[in-house]
Amino acid sequence: MVKRRITVLGATGSIGTSTLDLLDRAGGAEAFDVVALTGSRNIAGLASAAKRLRAEVAVTADPTRLADLQDALAGSGVSAAAGPQALLDAAAEPADWTMSAIVGSAGLAPTLRAAQRGGTLALANKESLVCGGQLLLDECARSGAVLLPADSEHSAIFQCLRGERSAEIERVIVTASGGPFRDFTLAQMQDVTPEQAIAHPNWDMGVGISIDSASMFNKALELIEAKYLFGLRSSQIEVLVHRQSIIHSMVGFTDGSIIAQMGPPDMRGAIGFALNYPDRPDLPVERVDFAALATLDFTAPDSERFPALRLAQQVLEMGGLAGTVLNAAKEAAMQGFLDRKIGFLTMADLVEGALNVLPCVGEPSDLTSVVELDAAARAYVRAQIC
Ligand code: NAD
Ligand code: MG
């Protein structure tokens, strides 16, 4: 059997290592031709994965770490490369299946490059759709690339829609765990620390998405992601707080019927679905024990405590450029929170300010317009913080 050629962008992160775990379990270098693995600061982790999987090239986004990567790969036969252009070149190398798992808007350009050259694109980097909007879909349409969601909610929606007609979708219910502050009052949320925000009750994830989950900006990004992935109107997309994270999302149809996708809170479910699609081989995830769970809880989301949800609705109406601003302002504000320069609740205030100040109605025409607007939104937020 011909081995599939695989590239993992963001191979050293939480999604990246879960992806490599599935590749290893499925036979690693014996079963796949690994083209490129990319990372940034974790050179030891990147090099050891690249050697184990016999990758053609390992790329660090950080050009100052090229010598370290070369040292770590010496004699292994794996090429080393560094910097933004090397990242784009790696994404452009022919591959059958690419995992897009860089964090933040830094993932957009490499993801677009992978979409341009075709193959299957498993999308964990939701920011590519939030910042780039229609751009990524257009690239996929041009090259014939197959876009498969690797976010648990969107994988769930995709699974619920298998064999269904899009005209018969009435609503999509995106579930949210509510994060570590789901039971906090606004007053309690005022003084929370980055450490508290990073400690997610259900999922073990990277720092950025953990804080986004605490503020529900992650859910905001996911509502926008759902709009593009499934061609939905904003009025069709709902959020439901479901603290156990067993129902990953649901789709309601015109006859009142609802299909839900369930599974344990383990990203290897969604990643494995995208890796093996359309097959469903055994995956190393726990099986749900409903009797042990006893109950599944649901509550309405509260956009007073979590204004990110209200801002997402605004962006859904405004279009992709507003997504660019929301995400860039959110990333800059998150840095301010991590640096302890602003409080947790100020993040949403700054994002709202950026959406009000910057011109951002409609869809981006090209990557340059996204990059420029992204920079303007970050500059606005940084000016407010200092
Ligand atoms: P992470 O922080 O654990 O890993 C990020 C990866 O991106 C690392 O490999 C890092 O080296 C690389 N990276 C960081 N900055 C970079 C830059 N400037 N240029 C190039 N590469 C860079 O993040 P994660 O939790 O794995 O999340 C990755 C993406 O997947 C995010 O878009 C996130 O929203 C999405 N996602 C994550 C989860 C999860 O459970 N972790 C679930 C759904 C979606
Ligand atoms: Mg998700």
Q: What pLDDT score was predicted for residue 163?
A: 95
Q: What pLDDT score was predicted for residue 204?
A: 86
Q: Is the CB of 266 under 6 A from ligand 1?
A: no
Pocket test for ligand 1, best of 14, 207, 216 (most atoms within 8 A of CB): 14
Choose among 40, 15, 207, 203: nearest CA to 98. Answer: 15
Tokens 């070149």 belong to: 89
Q: Is the CB of 209 under 6 A from ligand 1?
A: yes
Q: What is the mean pLDDT of residues 171-195?
A: 97
| 93 CB burial (10 A radius; 0-12, 13-18, 19+) | middle
Q: Is the CB of 39 under 6 A from ligand 1?
A: yes
Question: Looking at ligand 1, which residue's alpha carbon is closest to its atom 40?
Answer: 205
Q: Does domain 4-149 have CATH number 3.40.50.720?
A: yes
For 225-246, how does the pLDDT look when each residue is reduced to its tens digit (9 = 90+)?
Answer: 999 999 999 999 999 999 999 9
Cis peptide, bond prior to residue 278, ω within 30 of zero: yes
For 40-92, how does the pLDDT look when each residue is reduced to its tens digit (9 = 90+)?
Answer: 999 999 999 999 999 999 999 999 999 999 999 999 999 999 999 999 999 99
Q: What pLDDT score was predicted for residue 200?
A: 86
Question: Do 4-149 and 167-263+301-385 fold alike per CATH?
Answer: no
- Say what the ipTM of the complex is: 0.99
Annotated binding site: 12-15, 41-42, 125-127, 151-153, 177, 200, 206, 213, 218-219, 222
CA distance 299 to 88: 43
CA distance 282 to 278: 13
Q: Is the CB of 43 under 6 A from ligand 1?
A: no
How many angstroms is it from 314 CA to the middle of ligand 2?
20
61 with 80: CB under 8 angstroms?
A: no
In this structure, how many other beta carbons lie within 10 angstroms of the beta carbon of residue 277?
17
Q: What pLDDT score was predicted for residue 284?
A: 97
CA distance 273 to 195: 32
Mean pLDDT rounded to a whole number for the chain: 97
Atom of ligand 1 nearest to the CA of 10: 9
Question: Looking at ligand 1, which residue's alpha carbon is closest to its atom 27?
Answer: 103
CA distances from 284 to 45, 191, 271 (A): 22, 39, 12
Task: Tell me which CATH code domain 167-263+301-385 carries.
Answer: 1.10.1740.10
- Quick check: 315 pLDDT over 90? yes
For 3-44, how does the pLDDT look when each residue is reduced to its tens digit (9 = 90+)?
Answer: 999 999 999 999 999 999 999 999 999 999 999 999 999 999
- Quick check: 201 pLDDT over 90? no
- Quick check: 1 pLDDT over 90? no
- Quick check: 300 pLDDT over 90? yes
CA distance 333 to 306: 15
Tokens encoding 156 = 């769930």
Q: What pLDDT score was predicted for residue 202?
A: 87
Q: What pLDDT score was predicted for residue 22?
A: 98
Q: What pLDDT score was predicted for residue 132?
A: 93
Q: What pLDDT score was predicted for residue 11?
A: 98
Atom of ligand 1 nearest to the CA of 17: 26
Domain ranges of the chain: 4-149, 167-263+301-385
Three-state SS string over the chain comes to CCCEEEEEECCCCHHHHHHHHHHHHCCHHHCEEEEEEEECCCHHHHHHHHHHCCCCEEEECCHHHHHHHHHHHCCCCCEEEECHHHHHHHHHCCCCEEEECCCCHHHHHHHHHHHHHCCEEEECCCHHHHHHCHHHHHHHHHHCCEEEECCHHHHHHHHHCCCCCHHHEEEEEEEECCCCCCCCCHHHHHCCCHHHHHCCCCCCCCHHHHHHHHHCHHHHHHHHHHHHHHCCCHHHEEEEECCCCCEEEEEEECCCCEEEEECCCCCHHHHHHHHHCCCCCCCCCCCCCHHHHCCCCCECCCCCCCCHHHHHHHHHHHCHHHHHHHHHHHHHHHHHHHCCCCCCCHHHHHHHHHHHHCCCCCCCCCHHHHHHHHHHHHHHHHHHHC
